[in-house]
């Protein structure tokens, strides 16, 4: 079957991001014998012309659109991409009658509301590698696809009934041949995903909605095969391990670093670190394997707020982790996320003072927390009357302690001006 995959992302939030998830989808479809083409709309000006040409020349029997973001998650300078995503569906319908299925991280958070808004035919929340293959195979045989576990249609009533618990692929690598790797790798690190799923309980996080809570880890040899392929075949020298927590379980990063060292790969890379699972042994081997920078995810410098957010670690653990990475000359990025339940001027000042003492290479400050359906923070916002239970949250709403809004926005902007390396 001819299948067209469209990467809808055309923006750079934090950095240009190679459509890794779609490359896994493409690989799974090709392994099953399907003809696959990709239209990547990043940095594309004439979107309708590009899609028209691709659809007319390829004549797909199935079209998939991957949606990474529906807004920029910035309460100070908000951008919403919903009309743009809807326009992509309309363009595809204009030039093709093939069934249209939505997927991607943003779609997984808003499976029903986004499908309804853009008027798509079907959607696959969560992992789609196996589900989309089954959909294609049923379409070829003229069988119903709305009843496939993991597929949502416009007539579906309950996402939980249809949602399939996917198994992270461990038998093949993402497909790079269909993508222009260079337009990403020249500007930002190439993403690599070694595992999916997160059992942590942060009250605002969407990761469990997208990937589930059960941790699935790819074989380390396959992960580094992917890195080596990108490095040797496409000239990629910089990588970003995008796992929600790189250093858990603790044996995983050690094995991965040993594999990089054993293959003598001259690369540099970055990752996301949880302060709970840091040791000198880990930092030392990460440095030897080419790690030059980490994102130290702590979000607050107040013990009270860390507990409210259910981060699962203390300020002492953050401080200890930071000192260890400094010892091995690994750059550090930090993040402060303000406005959560119980936040007040005292806890804000406490977080800022803590961040100053850490003296990281970069610090990103966010003065409110984007609300997403299915998170504990959204439940709290409903109880407090900030949003209604029926709100689908497609259009951005933010949680911020009621007494802080005007003061906090001004405070955060002032701190960014006053500190080198601090950004919004």
Q: How would residue 171 be classed by pLDDT, with cut points 50, 70 and 90?
A: low
pLDDT at 406: 84
DSSP string of 46-75, one letter each residue? -HHHHHHHHHHHH--SEEEEE---SB---S
Q: What is the pLDDT of residues 103-120, one digit of tens each?
A: 999 999 999 999 999 999
Q: What is the pLDDT of residues 236-262, one digit of tens each?
A: 999 999 999 999 999 999 999 999 999
pLDDT at 157: 58
CB-CB contact of 257 with 246 (8 Å) = no
171 lies in some domain: no
Residues 366 and 243 in one domain: yes
CB-CB contact of 205 with 340 (8 Å) = no
Q: How far is CA 323 from CA 177, 202, 240, 343, in A?
A: 41, 24, 22, 27
pLDDT at 106: 96
Q: How far is CA 211 from CA 125, 132, 163, 201, in A?
A: 9, 16, 12, 14
Residues 282 and 370 in one domain: yes
Q: Give the CATH number, domain containing residue 130.
A: 3.40.50.280
Residues 402 and 278 in one domain: yes
Residues 219 and 150 in one domain: no
383 lies in some domain: yes
Q: What is the pLDDT of residues 13-56, one digit of tens each?
A: 777 899 999 999 999 999 999 999 999 999 898 999 999 999 99
Residues 155 and 204 in one domain: no
81 lies in some domain: yes
169 lies in some domain: no
Residues 150 and 232 in one domain: no
- Give the domain extent around 343: 189-423
pLDDT at 16: 82
* Overall average pLDDT of the 191-204 stretch: 94
pLDDT at 172: 67
Residues 121 and 262 in one domain: no
pLDDT at 168: 56
pLDDT at 160: 44
Helix (H) or strand (E) holding 22: helix 20-31
Between residues 405 and 308, the one the model is more confident about: 308
175 lies in some domain: no
pLDDT at 161: 44
Say how far apart CA 143 and CA 221 lie, in whole Å: 38
* Overall average pLDDT of the 51-69 stretch: 98
Residues 233 and 364 in one domain: yes
| Buried-exposed string 260-278: b where 16+ CB fall within 10 A, e elsewhere | beeeebebebbbbbbbbbb
Residues 194 and 318 in one domain: yes
167 lies in some domain: no
Residues 226 and 141 in one domain: no
Final residue before a domain boundary, out of 127, 162, 197: 162
Residues 232 and 145 in one domain: no
174 lies in some domain: no
34 lies in some domain: yes
Residues 199 and 136 in one domain: no
Q: What is the pLDDT of residues 357-415, one digit of tens each?
A: 999 999 999 999 999 999 999 999 999 999 999 999 999 999 999 879 889 999 999 99
Q: Give the CATH number, domain containing residue 294.
A: 3.20.20.70
To the nearest whole number, what is the mean pLDDT of the chain?
94
Q: How many domains are contained in the chain?
A: 2
């Amino acid at each position: 079957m001819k299948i067209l995959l469209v990467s809808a992302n055309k923006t750079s939030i934090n950095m240009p991001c190679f459509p890794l998830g779609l490359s896994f989808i493409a690989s799974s479809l090709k392994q099953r014998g399907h003809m696959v083409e990709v239209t990547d709309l990043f940095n594309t000006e004439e979107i309708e012309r590009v899609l028209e040409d691709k659809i007319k020349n390829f004549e797909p029997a199935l079209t998939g659109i991957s949606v990474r973001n529906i807004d920029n998650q910035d309460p100070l300078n908000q951008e919403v991409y919903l009309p743009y995503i809807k326009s992509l569906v309309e363009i595809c319908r204009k030039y093709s009658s093939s069934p249209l299925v939505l997927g991607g991280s943003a779609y997984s958070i808003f499976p029903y509301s986004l499908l309804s808004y853009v008027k798509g035919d079907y959607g696959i929340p969560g992992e789609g590698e196996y589900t989309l293959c089954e959909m294609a195979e049923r379409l070829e045989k003229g069988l119903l696809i709305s009843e496939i576990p993991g597929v949502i249609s416009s007539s579906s009533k309950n996402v939980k009934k249809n949602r399939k618990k996917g198994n992270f692929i461990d038998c093949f690598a993402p497909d790079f041949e269909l993508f222009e790797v260079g337009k990403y790798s020249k500007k930002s690190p190439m993403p690599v995903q070694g595992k999916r799923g997160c059992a942590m309980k942060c009250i605002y996080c969407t990761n469990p909605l997208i990937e589930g809570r059960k941790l699935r880890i790819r074989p380390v040899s396959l992960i580094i095969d992917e890195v080596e392929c990108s490095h040797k075949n496409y000239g990629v020298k910089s990588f970003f391990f995008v796992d929600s927590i790189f250093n858990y379980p603790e044996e995983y990063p050690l094995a991965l670093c040993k594999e990089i060292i054993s293959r003598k790969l001259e690369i540099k890379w970055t990752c996301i670190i949880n302060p709970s699972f840091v040791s000198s042994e880990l930092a030392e081997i990460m440095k030897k394997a080419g790690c030059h920078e980490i994102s130290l995810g702590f979000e607050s410098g107040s013990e009270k707020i860390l507990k409210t957010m259910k981060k699962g670690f203390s300020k002492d653990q953050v401080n200890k982790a930071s000192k260890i990475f400094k010892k091995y000359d690994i750059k550090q990025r930090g993040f402060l996320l303000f406005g959560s339940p119980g936040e007040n001027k005292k806890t804000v000042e406490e977080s800022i003072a803590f961040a100053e003492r850490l003296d990281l290479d970069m610090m990103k400050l966010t003065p409110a927390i984007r609300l997403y359906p299915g998170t504990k923070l959204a439940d709290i916002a409903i109880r407090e009357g900030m949003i209604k239970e029926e709100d689908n949250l497609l259009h951005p709403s933010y949680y911020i302690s009621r007494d802080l809004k005007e003061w906090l926005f001004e405070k955060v902007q002032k701190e960014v001006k006053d500190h080198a390396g601090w950004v919004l």
